[in-house]
Amino acid sequence: MKAVGLVVEYNPFHNGHRYHLQQAQEITGADVTVAVMSGNFTQRGEPTIVDKWSRAAAAVANGVDLVVELPLFYAVQPAHRFAAGALRLLSSLGVQSIVFGAEHPQWNFQRLVKAEELFNQESFNKYNATYATQFNQQLKAQTGVTLVDPNDILAFAYTKATMQNDYPFELIPIQRQGSNYHDNTITGKIASASAIRDALVANNDLYRQAVPQTMADSLAQVKAVPSWQSLYPLLRNQLIQAPISYLQSTYLMAEGLEYRMKEAAQRSLDFAAFMKYTKTKRYTYAHLLRVSLYTLLQVSQKEVQMHTQSPYLHVLAFNQRGREYLHQVKKQVEIPLITKVDQGLRDSLLNLDYRAGKLYQSFTSIEQDLKHPPVIIN
């Protein structure tokens, strides 16, 4: 069976995603569609609007054949690590092509990746600017192009990971349709995920026109939208109670950020105030969210390094075609293929995702990992 791969968050699954899926199938002529999807926390480090099982079920109900989880140690990362982790899993599943949305699909992303080789690495030392700002300054000087839009940034990262690892699959960018990534209004059947989430927060049922019925049903059951404001009391307590020496071992914590976050927690009673106090030109908002999540989960640098070297395929949902494809590739897959998490996996290989799932249960009563079987949709 010929397979096309997708890298997704589906936060939530909406009509734009369904268009992307249909285009991927039409362009490649694939027999089966395989999606690698972030779990309960996004690349930016935010809790997803609904849990991973509901999002995976909606994806399969609307045409994806197989959904596997992108583990937290790959999912909650900057674009280059996020992309590299996702492509590693898709490569292990034997997909022949990967289709992704981009704001500028006509760009030669291979040329942009090669331009990075000419960068002056010693110049990345401006503490009053983010790495992304300094990167774009050099990229523009070399090519006249800047990577600003999120999907273009990911397109660059997919291309770089493919070139670095000599993956055999074809990368196919397609034009992103409808609203801009950051648009917060819903005016038609295709809207950004941000706009849909904002509508849900505002109790505005306009979101229903922008998502398939299966996703609308899941969103209708959300009583309180998951947010960092809800998680902040736990984070604040962790930052106040933990010694500086312990915080320094947290993944992504560096350059004295532990002192700044600890002081911010002591001064701030809500998450918005905490972020305002912590934010500097050196760190993006997304970086601070990721550090906050890893702090709350008590994840160390050593732990992420260990897990990154031991990837796995945790199956979330599939249909009959997805089942057949799993049967076809399971003997060739060189990393663990997991369909149910037992206590042994909970305490070892999947421990980080298990802990993240338990944290996410602040928003839902559904067990997120232990003994949870894949969703099967016929």
User: Residues comprising the binding site for ATP?
Assistant: 7-20, 101, 151, 176
DSSP code for 204: -
DSSP 56-81: HHHHHHTT--EEEEE-HHHHSS-HHH
Binding-site annotation, residues: 7-20, 101, 151, 176
Closest CA to 300 of 240, 245, 219: 245
**Continuous segment of H or E residues that includes residue 154:** helix 150-165
How many other C-beta atoms can be found within 10 angstroms of the C-beta atom of residue 48?
22
CA distances from 207 to 42, 151, 161, 226 (A): 20, 22, 35, 17
Q: What angle do CA 175, 21, 58 make, to 5 degrees?
A: 130
Place of tokens 């998951």: 226
Q: At how many degrees (to 10) do helices 228-241 and 271-278 cross?
A: 60
Residues recorded for the chain = 378
- Please state, in angstroms and as integers, the Cα–Cα distance from residue 280 to each residue in 29, 206, 286, following that order: 47, 36, 12
Side-chain-facing half-sphere of 318: CA atoms under 13 Å: 20
Place of tokens 């397109």: 155
Query: What's the CA gap between 46 and 369, in Å, rounded?
Result: 19
Burial of 155 (0-12, 13-18, 19+ CB in 10 A): buried
List the structure tokens of 119: 């960068």
Strands (E), the chain: 3-8, 32-38, 66-70, 97-102, 170-175, 313-318, 337-338, 375-376
